[in-house]
Structure formats: structure tokens, C-alpha cells
């Protein structure tokens, strides 16, 4: 067993690795990440994950539900650290997996992967508490500077391959789509049972309302109106069937300074997250029910509306933007006619928010022998095209990991205010 495998085993048991090993790990990770572009190319199949925020046991639950690395190909959209108790263990495990299986896991940067933010929101305190010095925090921050800003998933299938899954008890019996329908969205619970599925609307009949899904039996939360995750958007019709375009993954969203994916590629990313500008916006912005651009109440990044997303996607031959950054009670939320989705992977956020988490699986399009010629995010296509159909989306929804197995700490160091 190599040292790296040992470190992975130790971290999987939620035990931090020694400082010297962190240093070595971070050095190796940096060498690897420096070779990646600002926008990493990722081939489907891939499982896309949102914020983790140091919720280590829930990250383990995520791997249980979504499959282990390297069996499953993962893309994490940042915010590994801060707020949770185990940011250190969570980030170091992901980093070890990245170094061990570089082609099976992609990590991109969130707004919390920053020196300034981590000094305020907990990761710095956690490193100091767990190691007695800030060295490990410093090594990790150096890695943050090398994380990619986005990823472009290509080769995703518009069709969802059957998983052979059964139906959850909560599945609405009267709304079961016929087997021959083209399923665009499927929602599975943490046991892998189908909670709901939505057929792709036919271009001739785009307004077919989707059956009302109910995730409440497993969520324990009040039933909501729209489809789970699409509810608030009111967009229950999904997208039109078509060739799958690329999926752009960023932590926050779009920037008024970025109209093409290529412009992201031109940024100098190897720095602390700036307080303004394109790099800042990609990590901080949020979609909102507005026209055009708006000021963000966060004080960084912008709000952007459906028109911005649709124009960007069309111009860049992108069918879907996947992003994280915002807590959503049902784990995911599609907006703007399924042109953008928020994926949130920290269940019962901060031990109290009562939300479920989700991950998004995109299947591989095997219909053309795996050959992917389109949708590489190129801008400036002259030919008029139909909007790309979004790829088939399988959301796996899960709750917080059980807590009874966690031991009680033996000692309580006292903060110096109280010395």
C-alpha cells in the first residue's frame, strides 16, 4: 500500500494526516493542477456535486450514494471548506483522490477556497485547532490558487440509460410515464429507488405539464408545488429534445465581463480570488428572476437573469450551466427552462437547515461510438441552430449521514478568551 493509499484510508476514517504529509500532498496537487486549464474538459459520464463545506460524514454518504472513486467519475464545484467541523479532512481526502486518480475526479474553485474567506468562516480556525499552527492552512490555500475556475462536460447523452432501479413507495403511481417515453429528468433517493421522472417534452407539444412530484415522504419537509428542484422556477416543461450540448460547470455563475467560454480560458487564475472582475464573478454570482444583470446582495459578483443565461448558452453552444453556491432545500433547482441548475451537496447544512442534498449524474452518449464532435463551448457560430436539448439528468437525493457512530472527543481545549 502506497503512502498515498494509506493517507486515503486514514482520511476516509476521518483522521487527519500529519503536517509533513499535507505539505507533500499539496505540492503534488499543485503540480497536477497547474497543468489544467482554467476550464477543464471533462467527458461524460460524470457525477456533478455542489458545496460540501466540511461536512465529512455527508461526503462519505455522497460517495455511498453516488459510487466510490475511481468507479464513478466526479466533478466537485467548490466550497469544500468552511463552516463545517471537518473541512480539513474533507478537502484533504478530495485532494488525495485527485492526486491518486487525476482523471477520475475534477475539483474546481469555490468562493470559499480563498485566504480571506477562510480566515473569517472557519477553515483557518479549524487548521489552527487541529494542528496548532497555520502551516496546513497555508499549504491548502496555495492549492486553492491553482484550482480550475470551471469545467466543460461534453459527450453527455440526452437519453437516460436505465439503472434498473425500482420505484420508491412515494412514487406517484398515476403519473408513471410510459416506458417508451424519453425520460429527461429522473430523481432517485439514496437507496437508488426512483422517486420521480419526467419525460422530455416533444417539440410539437412543449406545454405538456409534468406530473407533480412529491419528494416529501423522504424529505420530511412540506410538499412543494413544482417538480422537486424545479419548483421555484415554475419551469416544469424541461427542454426540447435535441443533440446534447456541453454542460458548463462553475461555482457561482456568469460574469458581465465574460461572454464566451474562451474568455474564461484567458484569465490569469493563479492568485487569491479578487474582490471584483471576471474571476470573482464566476465564483460569486447567482441566477435570479430578473432581466439582465443586477447587484448581488452578497457584495461580490452579480445577479443574472434568464435572458443572460439563454444568450450565453446559445452563443457558446452550451445546453446547461451547472453551478452550486446557494443552499436549495431540495438539493437541486433548475431554473430558466432548465438552462441552469443549482446543485447543493451539503445535507442539513450547518446541522440545522433541514435541506436534502443532491448530486447530478450525466450519462455517456454512446450513440456515435463515443465520438463527440460538437458542443465544445466554441463561440461565434454563424449558423442558426435550434437550442440544444439538455442532457438527460439523473439527480440522486440524499439526507445527512446518521450521527450515532461519531464518538465524543476526550478533551476540550479552551479558547484563550477564557484562559
Partner 1 sequence: MAGSRTQNWQSLGVLDSTTDHEFAIPVKRINDGDDVSFFLTSKAYKDIMTFLLQLNASMFPRKSKVEESQADLLQTWELGSPDIEFSSTVMKLGELMVKLSEFIEEAPPDTGPRRFGNVSFRKWYELVNSRTSALLDDYLPPKVLQRHSNSPDGVTAKEEIQAYLLGSFGSAQRLDYGTGHELSFLAFLGCIWKLGGFANAEPGVEERGIVLGIIEPYLQLVRRLILTYTLEPAGSHGVWGLDDHSFLPYIFGSAQLSPAISNVADIPTEGSLPSAPEPGDVAKVAAVERERGTNMYFSAIGFIYDVKKGPFWEHSPILFDVSGVKAGWAKINKGMLKMYNAEVLSKFPVVQHFPFGSLFLWEKDPTAVAAPSSVHTSSHPAKPTGQMNAAILRDPMQEGTRAPCPVGIKPIYKCIKTRSWWAACDDGAMGSATWFEPAIC
Q: Which of 85, 144, 336, 395 binds partner 1 (CB under 8 A)?
A: 85
d(CA 320, CA 208): 21
Q: Is 388 left (phi over 0), alpha (psi -120 to 50) or beta?
A: beta
414 binds partner 1 (CB under 8 A): yes
Residue number, 44 or 309, with CB nearest to partner 1: 309
Q: Which of 4, 134, 257, 372 binds partner 1 (CB under 8 A)?
A: 134
Q: Please, which of residues 281-300 interact with partner 1 by CB under 8 A? A: 297-300
In sequence order, what are the residues at sequence separation of 6 or more whose Cβ sits closer than 8 angstroms to the Cβ of residue 331?
228, 229, 343, 344, 345, 347, 355, 356, 357, 358, 395, 397, 398
Question: How near is the Cβ of 31 to partner 1 at its closest, in Å?
Answer: 20
Beta strand segments in 155-282, E: 183-188, 194-199, 246-250
Q: Going residue by residue from 212 to 251, which x/- string records binding to partner 1, judged by CB under 8 A?
A: ----------x-xxx----xx-------------------
Per the CB < 8 A criterion, the answer to whether 110 and 54 are in contact is no
What single DSSP character describes residue 146? T
Q: Which of 100, 104, 130, 263 binds partner 1 (CB under 8 A)?
A: 130
Catalytic residue among 57, 112, 251, 314, which?
A: 112
Question: How near is the Cβ of 110 to partner 1 at its closest, in Å?
Answer: 12
Residue number, 381 or 406, with CB nearest to partner 1: 406
260 binds partner 1 (CB under 8 A): no
Q: Please, which of residues 177-216 interact with partner 1 by CB under 8 A? A: none
Cell 486515503 belongs to which residue?
A: 8
Q: Please, which of residues 136-155 interact with partner 1 by CB under 8 A? A: 137-138, 141
Per-residue cell: 43: 467527458
Residue number, 249 or 280, with CB nearest to partner 1: 280
Q: Please, which of residues 368-407 interact with partner 1 by CB under 8 A? A: 400, 403, 406-407
Q: Please, which of residues 96-115 interact with partner 1 by CB under 8 A? A: 111, 115
Question: How near is the Cβ of 56 to partner 1 at its closest, in Å?
Answer: 9
Residue number, 384 or 416, with CB nearest to partner 1: 416
Question: How near is the Cβ of 168 to partner 1 at its closest, in Å?
Answer: 21
Cell 437573469 belongs to which residue?
A: 305
CA 403 to chain centre: 24
Question: How near is the Cβ of 293 to partner 1 at its closest, in Å?
Answer: 16
Question: How near is the Cβ of 354 to partner 1 at its closest, in Å?
Answer: 8
CB-count burial class (<10 Å; 0-12, 13-18, 19+) for 315? middle
Cell 457561482 belongs to which residue?
A: 252
Pick the piece of the chain touching partner 1 (CB under 8 A) from 71-79, 181-189, 199-207, 327-335: 327-335
Residue number, 333 or 388, with CB nearest to partner 1: 333
What count of residues does the chain have? 419
1 binds partner 1 (CB under 8 A): no
Q: Is 412 left (phi over 0), alpha (psi -120 to 50) or beta?
A: beta
353 binds partner 1 (CB under 8 A): yes
In sequence order, what are the residues at sequence separation of 6 or more whose Cβ sits closer than 8 angstroms to the Cβ of residue 188?
163, 165, 194, 195, 394, 395, 396, 397
Q: Which residues pair with 145 in a beta bridge?
A: none
Q: Please, which of residues 20-49 interact with partner 1 by CB under 8 A? A: 20-21
Task: Output the CA torsion 255→44→42→338 (10° steps).
Answer: 0
The H or E element that residue 342 is part of is: strand 340-343
Q: Is 112 a catalytic residue?
A: yes
Question: How near is the Cβ of 69 to partner 1 at its closest, in Å?
Answer: 20
Q: Which of 2, 173, 207, 352 binds partner 1 (CB under 8 A)?
A: 352
Question: How near is the Cβ of 253 to partner 1 at its closest, in Å?
Answer: 14
In sequence order, what are the residues at sequence separation of 6 or more whose Cβ sits closer than 8 angstroms to the Cβ of residue 410?
none
d(CA 272, CA 296): 21
Pick the piece of the chain touching partner 1 (CB under 8 A) from 96-104, 135-143, 361-369, 376-384: 135-143
Q: Which of 272, 294, 315, 364 binds partner 1 (CB under 8 A)?
A: 272
Pick the piece of the chain touching partner 1 (CB under 8 A) from 12-20, 211-219, 308-316, 381-389: 12-20
Phi then psi dihedrals of residue 303, to 5 deg? -95, 145
Residue 8, classed as helix, strand or coil, is helix
Residues serving a catalytic function are: 112
Amino acid at each position: 500500500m502506497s503512502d498515498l493509499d494509506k493517507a486515503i484510508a486514514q482520511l476516509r476514517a476521518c483522521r487527519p494526516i500529519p503536517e509533513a504529509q499535507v505539505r507533500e500532498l499539496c505540492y503534488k496537487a499543485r503540480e497536477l493542477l497547474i497543468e489544467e486549464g482554467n476550464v477543464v474538459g471533462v467527458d461524460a459520464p460524470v457525477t456533478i456535486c455542489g458545496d460540501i463545506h466540511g461536512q465529512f460524514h455527508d461526503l462519505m454518504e455522497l460517495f455511498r450514494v453516488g459510487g466510490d472513486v475511481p468507479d464513478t467519475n466526479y466533478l466537485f464545484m467548490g466550497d469544500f471548506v468552511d463552516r463545517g467541523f471537518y473541512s480539513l479532512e474533507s478537502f484533504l481526502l478530495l485532494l488525495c483522490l485527485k492526486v491518486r486518480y487525476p482523471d477520475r475526479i475534477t475539483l474546481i474553485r469555490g468562493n470559499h477556497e480563498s485566504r480571506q474567506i477562510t480566515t473569517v468562516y472557519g477553515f483557518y480556525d479549524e487548521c489552527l485547532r487541529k494542528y496548532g499552527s497555520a502551516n496546513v492552512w497555508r499549504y491548502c490555500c496555495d492549492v486553492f490558487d491553482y484550482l480550475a475556475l470551471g469545467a466543460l462536460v461534453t459527450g453527455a447523452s440526452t437519453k437516460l440509460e436505465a439503472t434498473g432501479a425500482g420505484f420508491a413507495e412515494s412514487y406517484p403511481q398515476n403519473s408513471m410515464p410510459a416506458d417508451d417515453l424519453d425520460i429527461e429528468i429522473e430523481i432517485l433517493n439514496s437507496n437508488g429507488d426512483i422517486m420521480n421522472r419526467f419525460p422530455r417534452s416533444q417539440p410539437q407539444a412543449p406545454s405538456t405539464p409534468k406530473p407533480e412530484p412529491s419528494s416529501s415522504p423522504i424529505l420530511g419537509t412540506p410538499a412543494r408545488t413544482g417538480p422537486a428542484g424545479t419548483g421555484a422556477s415554475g419551469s416544469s416543461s424541461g427542454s426540447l429534445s435535441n443533440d446534447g450540448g456541453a454542460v458548463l460547470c462553475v461555482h457561482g455563475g456568469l460574469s458581465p465581463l465574460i461572454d464566451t467560454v474562451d474568455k474564461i480560458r484567458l484569465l490569469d487564475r493563479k492568485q487569491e480570488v479578487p474582490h471584483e472582475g471576471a474571476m470573482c464573478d464566476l465564483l460569486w454570482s447567482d441566477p435570479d428572476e430578473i432581466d439582465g444583470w443586477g447587484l448581488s446582495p452578497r457584495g461580490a459578483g452579480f445577479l443574472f437573469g434568464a435572458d443572460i443565461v439563454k444568450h450565453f448558452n446559445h452563443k457558446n453552444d452550451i445546453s446547461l450551466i451547472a453551478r452550486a453556491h446557494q443552499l436549495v432545500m431540495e438539493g437541486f433547482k433548475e431554473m430558466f427552462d432548465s438552462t441552469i441548475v443549482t446543485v447543493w451537496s451539503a445535507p442539513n447544512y450547518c446541522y440545522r437547515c433541514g435541506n436534502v442534498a443532491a448530486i447530478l449524474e450525466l450519462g455517456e452518449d454512446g450513440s456515435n461510438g463515443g465520438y463527440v464532435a460538437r458542443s465544445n463551448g466554441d463561440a461565434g457560430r454563424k449558423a442558426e441552430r435550434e437550442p440544444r436539448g439538455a442532457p438527460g439528468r439523473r439527480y440522486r437525493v440524499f439526507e445527512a449521514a446518521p450521527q450515532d457512530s461519531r464518538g465524543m472527543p476526550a478533551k476540550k481545549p479552551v479558547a484563550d478568551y477564557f484562559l
